[in-house]
Structure 1
Amino acid sequence: MLNPQSISVVEEKEDVIYTPFSLFQQWVMNRSFPSKVMYGQREVTVTIQPHPDRKEQYMLSTTLCNKLKLLKDQQHHIYESNGTLHIGPVVGIFTAGFTGGTYKPIGERSSMFAKLLSEAMQLGVTAYVFGTHHIDWNEKKINGYIFDKSGWSQHPLPFPTLVYDRLPNRRIERLPATTETKMKFEQETNMLWFNPGFFDKWSVHELLYDNKHVRNYLPDTLNSPEASQIEEMLHRYKNVYVKPTNGSLGIGIQQIIKRRKDPFYYCKFRTNGQNRLRRYTSLKRLLRQQFSKGLEGYMAQRGIHLLSCNGKPIDFRVHTNRNRDGDWEVSAIAAKLAGTGSVTTHVTSGGKILTLQDIVNEMGKSKSITQDIKIAALKLSDSLSEKMEGVIGEIGFDLGIDHEGAVWLFEANAKPGRGIFSHPNLSASDKRTSRLLFEFSIYLYEQLIKRQVAVKR
């Protein structure tokens, strides 16, 4: 893949593209010229000419730029294959929750998307944010939002080569307008959707359990458990976490505790913005009160005696991304310290974000835990991307380490939140994770252009 290049625009009424002089000479020698140019899903038949000043630059006519809906004033990757010049990649970030304005067009998430689009531009990737209502199916264009040094603006842009799925929640994903959009885009032959959908916790558990190389990272877990099964888990492990299989952000997670010499059962949970603890005389009463609709759609997972700091348990958020070679790498690691009385380490439940260095220094832990976490995250990423349908480009893992040093997987997220990057010492990781998304996009773009049937997973 070539490095991104600048494209000049010249006032002309013909669909013409002026190419670097040496490239034109090469085509003359080969007696073979491209006849088309493609940008996103826009394809136009063109006339190829050498640069009039013999410069090693590309120059497009205004007529051609308008037909392609080319985003000017930024660099682009240009790649020749099978008689077509491909300009791109064009990445559409599919989401919802638009405000209708250009100050904060996606509400409070606008700053997150602005960072993503800034990284894309630096890499020569055309990227824009759009929702279902921005699509013009007849004209095959999208009135997408871009972000540059002037701020947010809306532009008519071509259908993308790649769609990065960043829908905010499952409810919006299930809306008829959303499912219809996905169905229509699937019919586009040169389009690839990556990070589609949300992970189902139980499905992830089953897929990973089938792989003997990562099975040791999985805590004992039961799907839609019976009361007797939870009782047995409590007898073995003293505490059990009950989670919605389709939950996110820690919402709905409850912890059941049964100490050996204590006759009572305890339940930790969060409601109305507060961490709560209730005591019950029997497990039957606890389950009837806390899960009045039953345990269908929940999974029970053994509690792990985690590393702790000042008596508060710690787990780790690990981001993995695929890079320009299509390979997985660990792009960010942060420690999360549970809030007082909290059932999870989520910041919304009073948790605190720490850097891994904080943990290594303050707790006197060996730096080998960093390596153990990275090895686990990469093995899990490889296993999930091999088994999951569709192309996965990023994953957020919640991992824990017990007092014996074993690594445990609590959750895998297809659309990892970016809350850990509020920590001032994680700004470089924030930038790295954003940049890798578009390095991977360049890799996918190259695979599509080469017409490779199987994209490396």
Structure 2
Amino acid sequence: MPTPKVDVQVVSSGIMADDVLMLGDSVMKAAKIPAQQQLILQFGSFRQSVTVVPVSRYDGLRVGHALARRLGLASGTPLRLQYRSVSRTLSLGPVIGVLVSRDYPTQPDKPFGSITMFCRELVDACRSQGAFVYFFTPGGIGSRSGGVEGWVYQGGWHQAVLPAPDVVNNRLTSRKLENKSSVQQFLIDIKQRYGAQVFNEKFLDKSEVFDALKGDTAVLRYLPESHSLQSYTTLKSMCARYASVFLKPVRGSLGKGIIRLSRSGQEGWTASFTTPMGTRKQVYPNLVKVFSAISGKMKTVRYLIQQGLTLIEIGGRPVDFRALTQKNASGKWVVTSIVGRIAGSQHYVSNLARGGTLSTVKEAVAKSNMAPGARKDVSARLHKAALDISRGVDERIPAHFGELGVDLALDTSGRVWLLEVNSKPSKNDNTPLNEGKIRPSVRMMIQYARYLAGF
């Protein structure tokens, strides 16, 4: 049953007591809310006994100023409401908390730096759907009893102490922050005490993903041969089978630290290292020398060694594809977007941070060196691969994910390959961010949060 959406009207505490709500009688009848009886008001982790008074010819919700302040609500805030007769609970919400890495309180116009516009877009999407969103950092956790110090947008950005949310979207971009004991304890507490849901609750590492997916028959065809690089024997056997291999830091991102090894003459190998300025090449006379050169790095960085692929190119620049998959209003995986990414002129990785450029799938394939006979149904095959892989990650890795960035590639024969799965996909990597426009990916995120919270 759809949950009604009402606009909150905050009235003076002198007019309305803290434990009284006034609600349009038509809304009360539709939601079967009993009048003038003790009920429990629920808003995120907030609980209080209230009485609801019906108001004729009115379709909003009136709340006293003192109560509104404790909830962090301002006049004009649209919210969903739901009445559960068994527990006699009137729930308002959903309350969505977005956990971000850092804030800048001295810059109230741009408190989240480069992602502030994305946060505003989320606010607008929540208003249109009747959800309440706030943003908080690891520093805002545990500072107040039962509350979270966060940011709300109400005609401008303001800090407030708010109830713990019904749903947390973990958008932390640092493993160090995510692994802080205060963060982990908070997430455990709100799940256990309030039944809150947390999605995208952890980073993925490359070995974990490929090892988990090896057991999934629907996904096997997309997996390049991959192993944890722990010995010279593994390096030697992979290099005996393939003309090129990639060494990828298990916890790397943005293409940092990737090394491509390719044959050079009879015995020799060329190592291509990614750097911010482009690709640095080094020739080694044999594999023993290669291994001794990287074994120092292996003491601090775990590597995945992966079969080299003959990816499609445009003018000598490799092309790959970023699919954004998300769970929808029914909790099912869907593909929100797929874009082509063409590597920069001095790079063999396609990340935008390394000078890559975006393209549509159709344009990328049309301009590429893919065999003409292999171009049929490329979009549909990428779409299917992204869904198969997302479902596989969801089923085989013990964590809750609501959206994934699935990096795919095509070889010159048209075969689809998995490169990487990212559990913290950038919102600037799939479609341009325009002020005032709510993208489908942002709308979908709110729909999934509503599904999780039962609104």
TM over 0.5: yes
Aligned partner of residue 252 in structure 1, secondary structure: coil
Answering whether residue 58 of structure 2 is matched by residue 55 of structure 1, we say yes
How high is the sequence identity, in percent, across the aligned residues?
26
Match of 1:116 in 2: 122
| Closer/same/farther in 2, CA of residues 257 and 435 from structure 1, 3 Å limit | same
| Closer/same/farther in 2, CA of residues 215 and 188 from structure 1, 3 Å limit | same
Question: 1:7 deviation in Å?
Answer: 2.3
Counterpart selection for 1:128 from 134, 153, 158: 134
Range moving further from structure 2, 128-137 or 64-73: 64-73
Question: 1:139 deviation in Å?
Answer: 3.6
Match of 1:443 in 2: 451
CA distance in structure 2 between the aligned counterparts of 1:63 and 1:428, rounded to whole angstroms: 32
Task: Flag as ranges the 4+ runs of structure 1 deviating above 6 A.
Answer: 26-32, 426-430
Kept in 1, the 8 Å contact 2:10–2:74? The answer is: no
Q: TM-score, normalised by structure 1?
A: 0.89
| Closer/same/farther in 2, CA of residues 205 and 32 from structure 1, 3 Å limit | farther
Match of 2:82 in 1: 79
CA distance in structure 2 between the aligned counterparts of 1:292 and 1:430, rounded to whole angstroms: 47
| Closer/same/farther in 2, CA of residues 262 and 334 from structure 1, 3 Å limit | farther
Kept in 2, the 8 Å contact 1:316–1:399? The answer is: yes
Match of 1:5 in 2: 6
Alignment of 1:296-307 (within 5 A): 297-307=302-312
Question: 1:378 deviation in Å?
Answer: 0.8
Kept in 2, the 8 Å contact 1:44–1:67? The answer is: no
Alignment of 1:26-425 (within 5 A): 35-51=39-55, 53-81=56-84, 82-101=87-106, 102-135=108-141, 137-147=143-153, 150-259=155-264, 261-271=265-275, 273-294=277-298, 297-363=302-368, 366=375, 368-421=377-430, 423=432
CA distance in structure 2 between the aligned counterparts of 1:258 and 1:382, rounded to whole angstroms: 36
Question: 1:257 deviation in Å?
Answer: 0.7
Aligned partner of residue 382 in structure 2, secondary structure: helix
Aligned partner of residue 429 in structure 2, secondary structure: helix
Aligned partner of residue 292 in structure 1, secondary structure: helix
Aligned residues: 443
Aligned partner of residue 188 in structure 1, secondary structure: helix
CA distance in structure 2 between the aligned counterparts of 1:414 and 1:302, rounded to whole angstroms: 23
| Closer/same/farther in 2, CA of residues 437 and 34 from structure 1, 3 Å limit | farther
Kept in 1, the 8 Å contact 2:23–2:60? The answer is: yes
1:194-244 alpha-carbon deviations (Å, 9 max, x no partner): 110100211111221111111111110011342232222223221111111
CA distance in structure 1 between the aligned counterparts of 2:31 and 2:206, rounded to whole angstroms: 53
Kindly provide the amino acid, as one letter, of the partner of residue 121 in structure 2.
Answer: K
1:90-111 alpha-carbon deviations (Å, 9 max, x no partner): 1111122222221221222322
Kept in 2, the 8 Å contact 1:421–1:427? The answer is: no
1:341-366 alpha-carbon deviations (Å, 9 max, x no partner): 42311122232222223224434784
Kindly provide the amino acid, as one letter, of the partner of residue 134 in structure 1.
Answer: G
Aligned partner of residue 156 in structure 1, secondary structure: strand
| Closer/same/farther in 2, CA of residues 27 and 194 from structure 1, 3 Å limit | closer
Question: 1:83 deviation in Å?
Answer: 1.0
Kept in 2, the 8 Å contact 1:421–1:430? The answer is: no
Question: 1:372 deviation in Å?
Answer: 0.5
Counterpart selection for 1:434 from 434, 437, 442: 442
Range moving further from structure 2, 263-272 or 310-319: 263-272
Range moving further from structure 2, 188-197 or 130-139: 130-139
| Closer/same/farther in 2, CA of residues 152 and 63 from structure 1, 3 Å limit | closer
Unaligned runs of 5+ in 1: 450-457
Range moving further from structure 2, 300-309 or 269-278: 269-278
1:65-115 alpha-carbon deviations (Å, 9 max, x no partner): 234333442211111113111101111111222222212212223223222
Kindly provide the amino acid, as one letter, of the partner of residue 436 in structure 1.
Answer: M
Range moving further from structure 2, 113-122 or 245-254: 113-122
Kindly provide the amino acid, as one letter, of the partner of residue 256 in structure 1.
Answer: L
| Closer/same/farther in 2, CA of residues 34 and 445 from structure 1, 3 Å limit | farther
| Closer/same/farther in 2, CA of residues 287 and 28 from structure 1, 3 Å limit | closer
| Closer/same/farther in 2, CA of residues 441 and 28 from structure 1, 3 Å limit | closer
